[in-house]
Amino acid sequence: MQGLVYIFIALATLGVAAAAYFGLTFSPIEAFVTAIAFGALAVMLMERRLRQRSEARLERAVEDLARLLSTDARAGQVLSQRVNAIADTNVGSRLDGIEADISVLGTVTRQLAEALAEFEEARRADGGSRLAEAMAEPAEPDDDIFLDPMIPEAEVRAALDSNRLVFHIEPVVRLPARKPLGYDLVPRLMQDAGGLADAPDFMPRRGGEDLIRRIEAMALEEAVTIARRAKTSGQPITLFLPLSRATILDKKGLEQVTATLVANQAITASLNFAIRQTEWKPLGPTEKRALYEFRKAGAGFVLTDATSLRFDFAELEGLGFSDVRFDATRFLSQPQSFTDFHTADIAPYAKRFEIELCGTGVIDEQQLLSLFEDGISLVQGPHIGRPGPVRPDLVVERPRDAERRIEAQA
C-alpha cells in the first residue's frame, strides 16, 4: 500500500513538472526544480503521517501491556493472600474437631442400633403390636369419596330440557391493583321454587357423563357468544370455562369442541379451559395429545382445585397451561402439604415456566396480603367478588328462559 502511494507521488510530481513547463512557460531547469520541491514536500508529509500513525499504535500497545501487567499484579496479590490464608490455617485443630464429630456420630449410631434391637425384641415379645402402633401412619383421605349432589340427576335433566341452566361469571383479579384478569364461567341451575343452585349441588359425582358433556357444551357455546360480543364492543374479555374427562374421553364431544374452536379462531385466545386436578391426573398421553389440539386452535388451559404444587411445570407449559389454582386458606395454614419449597419461592419458580399461581376462596384482606407477600398475584374468592350475571348485551336470551332469569336475578 505504501509503495502505491509513492507511485502516485511520483506521477503527481511529473504532472507538476509538465504543468510548470507547458502551462507556466517555465524553463526545463525551473520546471525540474519545481517538481523536485513538490515531490520532496509530498514525501515529507507522507513520512510524517506514517510516523504519527506508528507512534499512536505503539502508545496503544504500551497501554494494553500496562493493563495486562496491572491485572497480573492484582491476580498475584490475590493468590498471595490465599496462600497466606492457607498457610495460617491451623489444620491440627480442624482435624481434632472432625475427629470429635466422628466420635459423636459413632455414639449416635451405636445408640440407634441399640434402639432398633429393643424394637425387634418388643416386636417378638408382643407379636409386633408395639412396632405396628409406633410405625403406623395416618391413612390419606380417599379422593374418590364424594357426597351425592343435592339435586337428583333426573331433575337436572328436566331443568336442562326446560332451559333453566344459566351461566354467571366470577372474577379472577391481579394484585395489587385488583384489576380483573378474566372471569370463570359458572353454571347455575334455576330452581322451580326460586333461587339458584351452584354447580356442587347438581353436577354428578359419579356417572352422568352425558349430562356433564351437555353442560360443558352449553358453556362453550355461551363463552363463544360472550367473547364475540365483547370483542365487537371493543372490550375483549378472558373466560375460563369448565372441561372434564367426560368430554375429553368422548371422541364425538372432543371433535365437536375442536370444530367449535376452529370455527371461532378470532376469539379462541379469549377462551381458557379449566381442568380440575382430579380430572387431570388420570389422563394418559393420548388424552393429553387431544388437549394439544385445543392449544393449536388458540385456546389455553388452567389447572384448578390443586391439592399439591409438586408438578412438572415444564409439561404444563408445553400443553399451554397459564396458571394453577389452589385453596388459599389451606395453602396459608398448611404450606408443607402443597410444596417442599418456601412459600415465597414457589411462585417465582413457577413463573420460570410462564405459569402463575392463583389463590382461590380468599375470604379476608389478611389472606390477600399474605399471598401477595409470597409473590402470588392472582386471587379469587368471596372477598374479591361472588358469581354474578353477565351483562345482558353480551348473552343470547333463550326464549323459554327469559322470565325465569329475571325472577332468579330478582
**Per the structure, how many domains does the chain have?**
3
Q: Which of 70, 102, 135 is the last residue of a domain?
A: 135
pLDDT of residue 129: 52
Grid coordinates representing 337 are 402439604
More confident residue, 407 or 372: 372
Distance CA 113, CA 170 (A): 59
Q: What is the dihedral of CA 372, 374, 375, 380, to 10 degrees?
A: -50
In a domain? residue 147: no
**Same domain assignment for residues 231 and 333:** yes
pLDDT of residue 106: 66
φ and ψ at 16, to 5 degrees?
Answer: -65, -40
When pLDDT is averaged across residues 171-193 and rounded to a whole number, the result is 92
In a domain? residue 271: yes
pLDDT bracket for residue 405 (50, 70, 90): very low
CB 156 within 8 A of CB 202: yes
What CATH number has the domain bearing residue 338?
3.20.20.450
pLDDT in tens, 319-354: 889 999 999 999 999 998 998 888 888 999 899 899
Selection from 317, 333, 258 nearest residue 290 by Cα? 258
Grid coordinates representing 145 are 369419596
**Same domain assignment for residues 297 and 162:** yes
Distance CA 242, CA 18 (A): 97
Q: Which of 67, 84, 101 is the last residue of a domain?
A: 84
pLDDT of residue 192: 76
**Same domain assignment for residues 97 and 74:** no
In a domain? residue 316: yes
**Same domain assignment for residues 298 and 222:** yes
**Same domain assignment for residues 104 and 28:** no
Domain span holding position 79: 2-84
**Same domain assignment for residues 103 and 174:** no
**Cα distances (Å, whole numbers) of residue 267 to 229, 234, 260, 297:** 10, 13, 11, 10
In a domain? residue 143: no
**Same domain assignment for residues 78 and 180:** no
In a domain? residue 375: yes
Q: Which of 135, 163, 197 is the last residue of a domain?
A: 135
Grid coordinates representing 160 are 336442562
> Is the predicted pLDDT of residue 398 greater than 70, yes or no?
no
> Is the predicted pLDDT of residue 241 greater than 90, yes or no?
yes
